[in-house]
Amino acid sequence: MSWEKAVRTGTLPEWPYPLRYGEEKELETDVLVLGGGIAGCWAAISAAKKGLRVAILEKGATIASGSGGAGCDHWVYVANPCSDITPEEMVDAEITSTGGYTNCISRYISSREAYDALVELEEMGGKVRDTEDEFKGAEFRDEKTKFCFAYDYQNKLHFRVWGSTFKPALYKACKKLGVEIYDRTMATSLLTEGGKHGSRVIGATGLNIRTGEFVIVRAKATVLCLSRPQRVWQFSTELTGMSTLRPQTCIGNGHAMAWRAGAELTQMEKSTRSLMGSGLNFPMYGTGNPFNTWYACSMVDADGKEIPWVDRDGNVLKGVSDRYRPAPGQRFLGERSINYNYRRPTLVPDLLERVQKGEFRLPLYADLPGMPEMERRVIFGMMVGEEGKTKIPILKTYRDAGFDPDKDLLQSYMMLGGEEMGKKARMQRPGLPQQRTFGEGGDAGGLLIDWDLKTTLDGLYAAGDQLFAGNYHHHAAATGRYAGRKAAEYALVAGVTSVERQQVEEEKARVYAPVKRQDGIDWKELNAGLCRVMQTYCSEQKTEDLLNLGLLSLKEIEENDVSMAYAADPHKLGRVLDVLDLLTCDQIIINACLARKASSQHLDFYRLDYPQLDPPQWQKWITVRLEGEEVKTRMLSIDFWGKLKENYEARNRDYEGWYKG
Ligand SMILES: Cc1cc2nc3c(=O)[nH]c(=O)nc-3n(C[C@H](O)[C@H](O)[C@H](O)COP(=O)(O)OP(=O)(O)OC[C@H]3O[C@@H](n4cnc5c(N)ncnc54)[C@H](O)[C@@H]3O)c2cc1C
């Protein structure tokens, strides 16, 4: 029934759960994991394996929640027995590709340990090999191990995996190990020793977004696995396209609560012009393209004429197989790197000019029928299916509608910038300067951590997409697993501390304010207002004046509009709290932008008042943190992590991993 009809006929549904606003549930645990996504489940599993009590607070339903809940088709940059590429080389590739702005601590941990995680995942029930021999004899399959690889068939460092099996397997493992899972429970704040800002983290508060009950958890150690902000510049639930890549539950609650507690964050000034958050984007992986999940699908024009592929040196490749092999003299192919050293073969780079000259006629199509059988089946069947958000929306829907990859071409929207993954290969830079994304895709700003994945607050660890410059499923798995281990080691010697009642009361007052009102501004309107501020004052071209005006506008919203934010039920209360955290994230972002007084191509960061691109004195990390009411910033050397292998090994002498160095 439509909402209008329900209003007309007086049959509006009642809220289906008991309302328990203000009531408290108190819990105590050794390791508290905030967020039951990929990193969170792995952190919980590894801490529980140390024999500790572990609890997860998850806003959604842990069995399927988070960015990796719907699947994952690539497990990339992983040292493994089928490859001779070392973790150091893999991290080097990421350093080179990002101008140094990558998280070498977490990337190194991932490259070293993600193979161990993959094998452990298989023991839990995740499918990581072609056990049914579906692809027997395929060029991308290692016959001995039955592992399948993507992108670089020679060097075998990027796995093809059946990621839709992962989250249920992780969930089951958590349950088996006795991890206490509190679903539909949104973490709202971190509790600190003595209630003091900047002191040891001793647990967290949460809100049940079905009943409105308030949850207080005391813990010896806490692991933040709450992903990162989205919807900062763009948000629409009305447009028909995709409005965020990651799930809407990932909105930056973790960044905001860590900030309020006094933790240090970095890379927060980075944002990217992109249609991904606009609601105009095409469904991911649902259009004909040769990128990412669809790599390296043949493309043809409207007359069926094939578009040539070239290697990094511009040599035209003759066969499909050559698209999956390094060029002469090239060590290996990166996952998405556009750096010369690691660049994968691409369609001819002057495709747009060739279309304009009439050599190719639009529209273009992905030519699955023209691909060798195994390649066709692994793209449309396995990869489109196992990749998140594709199994039902794309694979099933298209098949049910009669799409047959053996016969049918799939239209491409590359000309409209419709395929985000092909960033450098697409033919039109999409979007307006203010159509930006923060955490929707790729690396993003986040928590600063040390070699234990400990944040700058004692007792608080972080993993996955919540880390600065964090990204990828294997990375979330490996860092979650690692952070859980380290948090457990900490918890084994730390005590449980009593909670400062005043801190709880203040948080309860903040959390419940929107339900005390009968009417007011709803969460979508507030989100739209915040986006407008960011579009106007923190767009592509930034200046000191604009950014300061942005802070002023946010302050005005904080002082005037927040006190009018209204929620009719616990679910909407969660949404309002999300947007309030988004406001905090906006403030962090603008403060970070003010602190970087130089432009940077690598960070997609342009200051009109400091136009010089990447001057050497600014090749540094800018960190931001709150001290009382004041924002403190500092610079960190671009390679503050020191020597990778040495630092890692010094802290993990007892770790029994596959890789021996
Ligand atoms: C469609 C899609 C396809 C992808 N494909 C790949 C791929 O093939 N290969 C690859 O390497 N990477 C892929 N990624 C990226 C990968 O999924 C993520 O990097 C990874 O899942 C990050 O794990 P995480 O645990 O940090 O975050 P998530 O898995 O997103 O988990 C965060 C969890 O925190 C919960 N949460 C948020 N706020 C709160 C709160 N306040 N309280 C309680 N819980 C909260 C969320 O509900 C969520 O469950 C893909 C991502 C998407 C969206």
Q: What is the pLDDT of residues 332-349, one digit of tens each?
A: 999 888 889 999 999 998
- Pocket of ligand 1 contains residue 375 by CB under 6 Å: no
pLDDT on residue 421: 38
pLDDT on residue 378: 98
Q: d(Cα 39, Cα 404) in Å, to the nearest integer?
A: 36
Residue recorded with tokens 């298209």:
398
| pLDDT reading at 67 higher than 90 | yes
- Pocket of ligand 1 contains residue 441 by CB under 6 Å: no
C-alpha 298 to ligand 1 mean position (Å) = 30
CB atoms within 10 A of CB 613: 13
> Is the CB of residue 516 less than 8 Å from the CB of residue 567?
no
Residue 661 lies in a domain: no
pLDDT on residue 572: 97
C-alpha 247 to ligand 1 mean position (Å) = 7
Q: d(Cα 156, Cα 333) in Å, to the nearest integer?
A: 10
Q: Rg of the Cα trace of the chain?
A: 24
Residue 555 lies in a domain: yes
C-alpha 404 to ligand 1 mean position (Å) = 31
Cα-Cα-Cα-Cα dihedral sign, residues 473, 121, 75, 163: negative
C-alpha 300 to ligand 1 mean position (Å) = 34
Specify the residue with its C-alpha closest to ligand 1, atom 20. Answer: 473
pLDDT band at residue 277 under the 50/70/90 scheme: confident
Q: d(Cα 637, Cα 645) in Å, to the nearest integer?
A: 18
What average pLDDT does the chain have? 94
Residue 164 lies in a domain: no
C-alpha 159 to ligand 1 mean position (Å) = 19
Q: d(Cα 341, Cα 622) in Å, to the nearest integer?
A: 28
- Pocket of ligand 1 contains residue 52 by CB under 6 Å: no
Locate the ligand 1 atom nearest the alpha carbon of residue 76 and give its number. Answer: 11
The gap from C-alpha 131 to its chain's centroid, in whole angstroms, comes to: 29
Residue 8 lies in a domain: no
Distances (CA, A) of 336 to 91, 97, 149, 637: 13, 9, 15, 26
The number of distinct structural domains making up the chain is 2
C-alpha 546 to ligand 1 mean position (Å) = 33
- Pocket of ligand 1 contains residue 225 by CB under 6 Å: yes
Domain end position, chosen among 422, 444, 463: 422
Q: At 626, which helix (H) or strand (E)?
A: strand 620-627
SS3 271: coil
CB atoms within 10 A of CB 376: 19
Tell me the residue type at 150: A
Distances (CA, A) of 600 to 97, 379, 425, 506, 612: 14, 36, 21, 40, 8
- Pocket of ligand 1 contains residue 553 by CB under 6 Å: no
pLDDT band at residue 427 under the 50/70/90 scheme: very low
| pLDDT reading at 619 higher than 60 | yes
- Pocket of ligand 1 contains residue 442 by CB under 6 Å: no
- Pocket of ligand 1 contains residue 443 by CB under 6 Å: no
pLDDT band at residue 422 under the 50/70/90 scheme: very low
Q: d(Cα 655, Cα 500) in Å, to the nearest integer?
A: 37
Residue 388 lies in a domain: yes
Cα-Cα-Cα-Cα dihedral sign, residues 451, 453, 455, 460: negative
Rounded percentage of the chain residues whose pLDDT exceeds 70: 97
Domain end position, chosen among 401, 422, 443: 422
Tokens (6 digits) for 61: 């339903």
| pLDDT reading at 72 higher than 80 | yes
Report the candidate in 181, 206, 315 with the shortest Cα–Cα distance to residue 257. 206
C-alpha 252 to ligand 1 mean position (Å) = 12
Tokens (6 digits) for 334: 């990166």
- Pocket of ligand 1 contains residue 126 by CB under 6 Å: no
Over residues 367-393, the pLDDT tens digits come to 999 999 999 999 999 999 999 889 999
Q: Where are the alpha helices (DSSP H) in 206-287?
A: 253-261
The verdict on 418 and 511 lying in the same domain is no
| pLDDT reading at 239 higher than 80 | no
> In degrees to the nearest 10, what's the CA dihedral of 125, 128, 131, 137?
180
SS3 127: strand
The verdict on 394 and 299 lying in the same domain is yes
C-alpha 301 to ligand 1 mean position (Å) = 36
Locate the ligand 1 atom nearest the alpha carbon of residue 75 and give its number. Answer: 11
C-alpha 65 to ligand 1 mean position (Å) = 8
Stretch 411-423: mean pLDDT, rounded?
60
Task: List CB contacts of 230: < 8 A, sequence separation 6 or more.
Answer: 244, 245, 246, 248, 250, 251, 252, 277, 437, 438, 439, 440
Locate the ligand 1 atom nearest the alpha carbon of residue 480 and give its number. Answer: 25
The verdict on 408 and 513 lying in the same domain is no
CB burial of residue 653 (10 Å; 0-12, 13-18, 19+): exposed
| pLDDT reading at 292 higher than 80 | yes
pLDDT band at residue 417 under the 50/70/90 scheme: low
| Phi-psi region at 229: left, alpha or beta (left = phi > 0; alpha = psi -120 to 50) | beta
Q: At 461, which helix (H) or strand (E)?
A: strand 460-462
Q: d(Cα 107, Cα 122) in Å, to the nearest integer?
A: 22
C-alpha 445 to ligand 1 mean position (Å) = 15
Specify the residue with its C-alpha closest to ligand 1, atom 3. Answer: 388
Over residues 556-565, the pLDDT tens digits come to 999 999 999 9
Report the candidate in 440, 436, 444 with the shortest Cα–Cα distance to residue 466. 444
CB atoms within 10 A of CB 12: 9
SS3 448: coil
- What is the domain extent for residue 529? 507-636
Q: d(Cα 156, Cα 140) in Å, to the nearest integer?
A: 8
CB burial of residue 601 (10 Å; 0-12, 13-18, 19+): exposed
Tell me the residue type at 401: A
> Is the CB of residue 305 less than 8 Å from the CB of residue 482?
no
pLDDT on residue 429: 55
Locate the ligand 1 atom nearest the alpha carbon of residue 38 and give its number. Answer: 25
Q: d(Cα 606, Cα 361) in Å, to the nearest integer?
A: 36
Locate the ligand 1 atom nearest the alpha carbon of residue 389 and give its number. Answer: 1
Domain end position, chosen among 372, 403, 422: 422
The verdict on 404 and 515 lying in the same domain is no
SS3 554: helix
Beta bridge partners of 380: 384
Stretch 441-469: mean pLDDT, rounded?
97
Residue 485 lies in a domain: no
Stretch 565-580: mean pLDDT, rounded?
97
The gap from C-alpha 14 to its chain's centroid, in whole angstroms, comes to: 35
- Pocket of ligand 1 contains residue 184 by CB under 6 Å: no
CB atoms within 10 A of CB 646: 9
Stretch 510-522: mean pLDDT, rounded?
95
What DSSP line would sit under 307-375, residue for residue? Answer: PPEE-TT-PBP-SGGGGGSPPTT-----SS--STTTPPPEE-TTHHHHHHTTSS-SSPEE-GGGS-HHH
Specify the residue with its C-alpha closest to ligand 1, atom 1. Answer: 388
> Is the CB of residue 105 less than 8 Å from the CB of residue 30?
no
> Is the CB of residue 344 less than 8 Å from the CB of residue 322?
no
Rounded percentage of the chain residues whose pLDDT exceeds 90: 86
Residue recorded with tokens 């009669």:
402
- Pocket of ligand 1 contains residue 586 by CB under 6 Å: no
DSSP state, residue 559: I
- Pocket of ligand 1 contains residue 60 by CB under 6 Å: yes
- Pocket of ligand 1 contains residue 158 by CB under 6 Å: no
C-alpha 67 to ligand 1 mean position (Å) = 3
User: What CATH number is given to the structural domain containing 513?
Assistant: 1.20.58.100
- Pocket of ligand 1 contains residue 220 by CB under 6 Å: no
> Is the CB of residue 75 less than 8 Å from the CB of residue 114?
yes
Residue 307 lies in a domain: yes
Tokens (6 digits) for 105: 């601590």
pLDDT on residue 241: 67
> Is the CB of residue 167 less than 8 Å from the CB of residue 148?
no
pLDDT band at residue 240 under the 50/70/90 scheme: low
C-alpha 70 to ligand 1 mean position (Å) = 9
- Pocket of ligand 1 contains residue 513 by CB under 6 Å: no
- Pocket of ligand 1 contains residue 271 by CB under 6 Å: no
C-alpha 634 to ligand 1 mean position (Å) = 29
Specify the residue with its C-alpha closest to ligand 1, atom 9. Answer: 74
Residue 2 lies in a domain: no
